[in-house]
A and B are shown apart, each in its own frame.
Chain A
Amino acid sequence: KNQVEQSPQSLIILEGKNCTLQCNYTVSPFSNLRWYKQDTGRGPVSLTIMTFSENTKSNGRYTATLDADTKQSSLHITASQLSDSASYICVVSADAAGNKLTFGGGTRVLVKP
């Protein structure tokens, strides 16, 4: 059964600090992995996508990594801001068309001043 596990479930960090979120998956076959950010009361919004051949990709203060051998991804947030308070969801696709998705349970991040 395809699964995506995220850790930690939640974390609290001080504004300006860095943090790293983890995503482990057992999806097969593997097409791509995407990170979404979901603000409270809003729908998820895509942050970045990782394909099999990519190891690292940045989007502003967000940097995603992918290790396809160990089936692990991480999302690193640099110099956190209050607006980074949100849930971060890891989603793995088993096909390029994107219709076979497995969602992680998300990591809830709270940034405190």
Chain B
Amino acid sequence: DVKVTQSSRYLVKRTGEKVFLECVQDMDHENMFWYRQDPGLGLRLIYFSYDVKMKEKGDIPEGYSVSREKKERFSLILESASTNQTSMYLCASRPGSSYNSPLHFGNGTRLTVT
């Protein structure tokens, strides 16, 4: 079974802090994704990466950056946290070469910015 592990389940940070969310997958997947999930809005794509050191902006990249130095690890960075970034953050991965394969999600990090 694919395992996607997010390093923190809950985080509380102050406005203006730099925040790192870490995600590791163990199935050698090429593609990795960061989403945020807010009630009633569905999941929204922040960034995705299809290879080491490669990244592409999703629908809501403002205020975020990402890093993928190793294939198994994809980090989401909030350069200066703001209260409107309080949300559930979900990391996902999938193989790059397989049509119609599902996303495999981590269990999420609930971030509160005060």
Q: How large is the interface on B (under 10, 10 to 19, 20 to 34, 35 or more residues)?
A: 20 to 34
In-complex Cβ contact of B100 among A42, A43, A51, A106 (8 A): A51
Residues of A within 8 A of B43 (CB): 44, 89, 103
A96 touching B99 by the CB < 8 A rule? yes
Decide: A105 near B40, CB < 8 A? Known: A96-B99, A96-B100, A99-B48.
Answer: yes
A46 touching B103 by the CB < 8 A rule? yes
**A32 vs B40: C-alpha distance when bound (angstroms):** 22
B5 to chain A, nearest CB (A): 11
Closest B residue to A96 using CB positions: B99
A4 touching B42 by the CB < 8 A rule? yes
In-complex Cβ contact of B102 among A34, A41, A42, A106 (8 A): A34
B102 touching A46 by the CB < 8 A rule? yes
Closest B residue to A39 using CB positions: B107
A97 touching B99 by the CB < 8 A rule? yes
Closest A residue to B90 using CB positions: A43
A105 touching B41 by the CB < 8 A rule? yes
Q: Which residues B56-97 have CB closer than 8 A to chain A?
A: 90, 92, 94
**A36 vs B35: C-alpha distance when bound (angstroms):** 15
B112 to chain A, nearest CB (A): 15
Decide: A104 near B108, CB < 8 A? Known: A43-B92, A44-B103, A98-B103.
Answer: no
B61 to chain A, nearest CB (A): 15
**A96 vs B94: C-alpha distance when bound (angstroms):** 13
Given contacts A9-B40, A104-B42, 9 further A-B contacts (CB under 8 A): A43-B90, A43-B105, A44-B43, A44-B90, A44-B105, A51-B100, A89-B42, A89-B43, A103-B44
The residues of B with any CB-CB pair to A shorter than 8 Å are 4, 31, 40-45, 48, 50, 90, 92, 94, 99-103, 105-108
The residues of A with any CB-CB pair to B shorter than 8 Å are 4, 9, 31-32, 34, 36, 41-46, 49, 51, 89, 96-99, 101, 103-106
